[in-house]
Structure 1
């Protein structure tokens, strides 16, 4: 695969209760643990919210890409919502995530919209990674 763009972010502190910052400093967030996971509910974000934000934006981009290839105009008020859940895996060895996407394309014929959403689900790299359980190399610095 020819990589077209690379970025990185670094988390510090307590992991889920610390900070995370991109290499260029554009994104710099306070991380907190949600009450549902034993946290105090302090103001901040968490990895699941960041994943939902990234996935929904990426999927909308993929939808616009496939629509453009088919010369279909996607309305500006089109939305993609990602619902991300986390919980213990059934095998008891860690945690897993589940994701559900909801796409709203106002005014577009339903059959056409469904075909564009299906094509976007193939094109979107987040969808591909979730579907194929992409192996992630982990190295110790």
Structure 2
């Protein structure tokens, strides 16, 4: 199964003028279990370029679990995650973040003893073209 060529190139213009592009990510028949507890069962959906999606539901419905499947923190027992037309196999978190897939958490964990700027710069490391050493030398304005 791959993203069809029609779906990959199809664009839609929304009433407010935004462009929704082709399929970037496909979640196909995702099932996630923790022991005997089924957190997600047979869920499928697409995410298109420029599209804004929401996952809603009551506590315990599997919303956070689905986000963790999307960002690669959890691996489903059944189903497939496709990204840009190819199946996404197991990857390390930094590899997934380098593709632009990430999430934030409700309980923010800051690095204690660091300034706000230092915390932000640490979070941006995967998007910078320089190394940690050159980024640590900052002269400010």
TM-score normalised by the chain length of structure 2: 0.22
Between Structure 1 and Structure 2, which shows a larger proportion of helix residues?
1
Please identify the structure whose Cα radius of gyration is greater.
2
TM-score normalised by the chain length of structure 1: 0.22
